[in-house]
């Protein structure tokens, strides 16, 4: 029996599944009604429309045929092909929609101008054969131009979306920071999404790059894995083999994690057991106090909202959690790991001094990031200040395999060095290329 929160979640998924049939329907209508499609036979047009409909149902296919929506058990090459074509279809739909709207506006303005001038006699003119030929050629060029641009842009986005992340070094000056914590280095990795498109070697390289930065503490802020642990990864092996690479993480004060929403979608208990086996201590609405050269750093981890939805944890209370930990007034810095950035105001009011979050993937694509920001109360990537508390929202290490596309927003391993000073200052030492 589904919990109330799960019912809402599945209703949202159903609406999403229904919404993604709009692009193929729209493109099919243009194909049947447009000038280019008139040259094709009915069988050809029906075949193309059928292919578009199949491409749009990538999530239905993966969740049924390949057993899982969040991280299907399927070959990487097949999923990449699916996503390449799916993304190209979405891009073609958006370009055609914008073009059609612009054309309608242009025609409406022209009609309005003629009505105002009283020049409507050209409506009865016979069609110009030369103009018709020009329009046919223009329609042909636009159709194939849109197709080429969509496929090419989609390919670039998929390549960037599955590339290795770069280290993003930053410094944040925190007033009243204990002097012993000046220079303390936090490595934040979020949204790794180990799944069908990641390989064991890819995870190994992430661990190597992180260790090379010599962080004092490694914080993993959720969505580390997708699907079930026994499912396959790219280039051979299973996801349990990929997560076991985390054993090699090295930091003076250890490796801590909080849960993200994807932790709850598939085999939650199994993943939590595996995380413990590889040395990840997951903080479930709890905190720890770390001693560093005589100073203290309080690290808190909050469970994602999906914990309540799926019945794995009671509703969290950051106020009670922070009350159990020493703060800056007692000579300790309070850092909170919270997968979603939207709770920053509550965490700041509870007494947190800094928050590390992910979830948004940085918006993934320029333009789409504006929509992602609106869906996350203005948070999308980079630094924010909420009630005096610095909040860092990472663009993430990886991406969900359902849409592994990046355009203009690279992946990152965030490296944050704490500095003491009179006023809060945030500096970019280097940004990922």
Domain residue extents for the chain = 4-159, 166-430
Residue 252 pLDDT more than 90?
yes
To the nearest 5 percent, what fractions of the chain are helix, strand and coil? 50, 20, 30
SS3 category, 174: strand
pLDDT in tens, 392-413: 999 999 999 999 999 999 999 9
Residue 25 pLDDT more than 50?
yes
How many residues are there in the chain? 433
**Crossing angle of helices 42-56/76-117, nearest 10°?**
120
Which CATH code is given to the segment(s) 166-430? Answer: 3.60.21.10
Residue 140 pLDDT more than 90?
no
Residue whose structure tokens are 């990487």: 76
Return the pLDDT at 138. 55
Q: pLDDT band at 317, cuts 50/70/90?
A: confident
How many Å apart are CA 260 and CA 224, to the nearest integer?
Answer: 8
pLDDT in tens, 211-248: 999 999 999 999 999 999 999 999 999 999 999 999 99
392 and 185 in contact (C-beta within 8 Å)?
Answer: no
Report phi then psi at 310, rounded to 5: -95, 10
Among 20-29, 91-100, 130-139, 290-299, the least confident range: 130-139
Return the pLDDT at 115. 82
Task: Give the H or E element holding residue 172.
Answer: strand 166-175
Question: Between 219 and 138, whose confidence is greater?
Answer: 219
Residues whose CB is less than 8 angstroms from the CB of residue 233 and which lie 6 or more positions away in sequence, other chains included: 76, 194, 195, 196, 198, 199, 200, 239, 241, 242
Q: pLDDT band at 133, cuts 50/70/90?
A: low
Return the pLDDT at 128. 62
Mean predicted lDDT score pLDDT of the chain: 89
Return the pLDDT at 130. 61
Q: pLDDT band at 1, cuts 50/70/90?
A: very low
Return the pLDDT at 121. 54
Q: What is the pTM of this model?
A: 0.89
Report phi then psi at 305, rounded to 5: -60, -25
Averaged over 349-372, what is the pLDDT? 96
How many Å apart are CA 343 and CA 318, to the nearest integer?
Answer: 10
Residue 8 pLDDT more than 80?
no
Question: Which residues, in sequence order, are bridge partners of residue 386?
Answer: 389
Return the pLDDT at 137. 59
287 and 301 in contact (C-beta within 8 Å)?
Answer: yes
Task: Please provide the DSSP assignment of 83-129 as one string.
Answer: HHHHHHHHHHHHHHHHHHHHHHHHHHHHHHHHHHHT--GGGGSPPPH
Residue 123 pLDDT more than 60?
no
Return the pLDDT at 354. 97
How many Å apart are CA 355 and CA 335, to the nearest integer?
Answer: 6
Closest CA to 321 of 308, 306, 337: 337
Return the pLDDT at 390. 97
Question: Which residues, in sequence order, are bridge partners of residue 188?
Answer: 219, 414
How many Å apart are CA 276 and CA 137, to the nearest integer?
Answer: 63
If you average pLDDT over each of 101-105, 142-146, 308-312, 330-334, which comes out highest?
A: 330-334
Averaged over 374-379, what is the pLDDT? 96
Q: Would you tell me how many other CB atoms lie within 10 Å of the CB of residue 277? A: 13
């Amino acid at each position: 029996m589904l919990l109330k929160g799960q019912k809402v979640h599945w209703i949202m998924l159903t609406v999403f599944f229904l919404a993604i049939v709009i692009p193929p329907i729209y493109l099919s209508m243009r194909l049947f009604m447009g000038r280019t499609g008139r040259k094709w036979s009915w069988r050809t047009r029906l075949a193309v429309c059928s292919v578009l409909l199949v491409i749009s149902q990538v999530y239905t296919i993966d969740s049924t045929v390949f057993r899982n929506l969040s991280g299907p058990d399927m070959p990487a090459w097949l999923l990449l092909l699916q996503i390449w074509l799916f993304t190209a279809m979405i891009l073609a739909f958006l370009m055609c929609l914008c073009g059609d709207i612009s054309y309608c506006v242009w025609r409406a303005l022209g009609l309005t101008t003629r009505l105002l001038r009283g020049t409507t006699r050209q409506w009865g003119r016979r069609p110009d054969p030369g103009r018709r030929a020009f329009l046919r050629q223009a329609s042909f060029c636009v159709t194939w131009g849109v197709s080429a641009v969509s496929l090419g842009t989609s390919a670039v986005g998929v390549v960037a979306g599955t590339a290795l992340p770069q280290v993003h070094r930053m410094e944040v000056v925190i007033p009243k920071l204990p002097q012993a914590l000046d220079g303390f280095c936090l490595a934040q990795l979020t949204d790794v999404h180990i799944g069908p498109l990641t390989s064991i070697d890819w995870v190994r390289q992430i661990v190597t790059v992180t260790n090379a930065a010599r962080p004092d503490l490694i914080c993993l802020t959720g969505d580390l894995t997708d699907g079930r642990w026994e499912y396959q990864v790219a280039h051979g092996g299973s996801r349990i083999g990929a997560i076991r690479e985390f054993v090699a993480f090295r930091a003076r004060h250890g490796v801590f994690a909080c849960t993200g929403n994807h932790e709850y979608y598939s085999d939650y208990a199994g993943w939590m057991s595996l995380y413990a086996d590889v040395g990840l201590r997951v903080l479930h609405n709890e905190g720890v106090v770390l001693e560093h050269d005589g100073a203290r750093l309080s690290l808190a981890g909050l469970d994602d909202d999906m914990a309540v939805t799926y019945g794995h944890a009671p509703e969290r209370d950051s106020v009670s959690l922070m009350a159990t930990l020493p703060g800056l007034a007692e000579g300790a810095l309070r850092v909170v790991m919270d997968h979603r950035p939207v709770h920053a105001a509550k965490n700041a009011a509870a007494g947190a001094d800094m928050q590390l979050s992910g979830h948004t993937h940085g918006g993934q694509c320029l333009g789409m990031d504006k929509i992602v920001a609106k869906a996350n109360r203005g948070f999308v990537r980079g630094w924010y200040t909420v009630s005096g508390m610095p909040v860092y929202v990472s663009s993430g290490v990886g991406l969900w395999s359902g849409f592994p596309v990046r355009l203009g927003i690279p992946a990152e391993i965030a490296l944050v060095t704490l500095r003491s000073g009179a006023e809060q200052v945030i500096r970019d030492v280097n940004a990922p290329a």
